[in-house]
Amino acid sequence: MSKDAHVGPPLWLLAELTYECPLHCAYCSNPTDLGKREDELTTEAWLDVLTQARELGSVQLGFSGGEPLLRKDLETLVEHGRQSGFYTNLITSGIGLTEKRIKQLKAAGLDHIQISFQAADPELNDAIAGRGKAFDQKLKMAEIVKSEGYPMVLNFVISRQNIEQIPQILELSCQLNADYVELATAQYYGWAFDNRDHLLPTQQQLRHAEATVNGFRDQQDNAGPQFIFVTPDYYEDRPKACMNGWASTFLTITPDGSALPCHSAKILPLDFPNVTEKTIADIWHKDFSFNHFRGESWMPQPCQSCDEKEKDFGGCRCQAFMLTGDMNRTDPVCSKSDDHHLITEAIEQAKNPTAPLKHRKRVADIALMKL
């Protein structure tokens, strides 16, 4: 394909090892259909994925999920990733981590650990996570991660559930001596999309939170954690440059081996390839689904004639699909979109949620709880 000439390597490889997770956060962006554990890729298949992607030029490797610690072969995969030259990132809830495992992972060559927190105190944290004692465990593990010499990133998904705690979150991050702290407002995919009315902060809450973070940053004097505040695109006039452009930089492999240009693309009406059936090079450079939204020729109006199309690439395909039912449309976040009213309606709707909050759980688990 002629489009192919400009395609660089998938610099970022996200290995979603399992969708199993000990937490039940309502903001989770995993698919609401979590699949079956039996369908997960084998150790050998993952090793092969890492080798192939590295040869293609991938350099950042994220082990994610669900909770990647639930895979007993994590150390094996980390070791192979590191030896192949990847910068290896573990993205974890901290649940299931032990001092022994932190040391084993270090010995295997793990470069960095990112721990998620749900709030700055045990009560709220454990209520959001749907699991008792989660906060204490995270705290303990964060201390050991630092004492073992890892760079540590803390990730707080910010929503209406915890946005009033920003000052305490900033303080906790300093106490734990984090290197980077992501204050990322929830993105409305997967479970979070279903729970949007409960999660989306008001514009006033957001402005206040952002001002608090900026004020804190100003008095930091180039010391302590670096705070990164990510606002939700629902309050922007232009869409986010989703994944830096479709299949330009990111490659996600899901637990069952599906290859995706982003972690939520599986919802789209496109057939995505599987690493057990095709090579990574073929997937990245030749697959119909990966080429489908590359470049500009697919773009509808108003994107096609917009002078900002090279900045945001028409926004997020998943968001266009979830909100309008058509993945080919302009992201409704854009104020130029004919569908932009869907966003203003969503903001209005979130002021009075009608459906109950849905904690992330397996259907089988829910059935069990009803018994």
Residues in the interface with another protein (CB under 8 A) total: 20
By rule CB under 8 A, what string of x and - marks binding of each residue 264-303 to another protein? ----------------------------------------
Give, in degrees to the nearest 5, the angle at Cα 62 between 11 and 70: 155
Interface with another protein, residue 180, by CB under 8 A:
yes
Would you say 114 or 258 has its CB closer to another protein?
A: 114
Q: Which stretch binds another protein (CB under 8 A): 17-25, 84-92, 204-212, 275-283?
A: 84-92
Q: To which residue do tokens 């130029």 refer?
A: 336
Among 78, 91, 44, 86, smallest CA distance to 61 is for 86
Q: Tell me: does residue 325 bind another protein (CB under 8 A).
A: no
* Cα three-residue angle 114-120-122, rounded to 5 degrees: 105
DSSP string spanning 252-317?
A: EE-TT-BEESSTTGGGSSS---BTTTS-HHHHHHH-HHHHHTSSSTT--TTTTT-TTHHHHTTS-H
- Contact residue for another protein among 37, 83, 85, 215 (CB under 8 A): 85
Segment interacting with another protein (CB under 8 A) among 9-17, 254-262, 265-273, 329-337: 9-17
Q: With respect to another protein, which residue has the nearer C-beta, 145 or 333? A: 145
User: How many angstroms separate the CA atoms of 87 and 84, rounded?
Assistant: 9
Interaction residues for another protein, span 192-251 (CB under 8 A):
222
DSSP H helical ranges for 90-239 = 99-108, 122-129, 134-147, 166-175, 190-194, 196-199, 203-218
Residue 28 annotated as lining a ligand binding site: yes
State how far the Cα of 23 lies from the Cα of 131, in Å rounded to an integer.
Answer: 6
Residue 314 CB, nearest approach to another protein (Å): 24
The reply to whether 15 sits near another protein by the rule CB under 8 A is no
Distance (Å, rounded) from C-alpha 264 to C-alpha 31? 7
The verdict on whether residue 21 carries a ligand-binding annotation is yes
Which residues sit opposite 158 in a β-bridge? 185
- Of positions 43, 51, 60, 84, contacts another protein by CB under 8 A: 60
318 is in an annotated binding site: no
Contact window for another protein (CB under 8 A) among 56-64, 66-74, 260-268, 274-282: 56-64
| CB atoms near residue 288 (< 10 Å) | 11
Integer Cα distance of 290 and 281 in angstroms: 11
Angle at 283 between CA 11 and CA 79, to 5 degrees: 50
| Contact pick of 29, 52, 89, 125 for another protein (by CB under 8 A) | 89
CB nearer to another protein: pick between 51 and 202: 51
- Residues between 92 and 151 with contacts to another protein, criterion CB under 8 A: 111-112, 114, 149, 151
Q: Using an 8 Å Cβ cutoff, are 90 and 112 in contact?
A: yes
Residues in contact with another protein by the rule CB under 8 A: 9, 11-12, 56-57, 59-60, 62, 85, 87, 89, 111-112, 114, 149, 151, 153, 179-180, 222
**Residues that constitute the known binding site:** 21, 25, 28
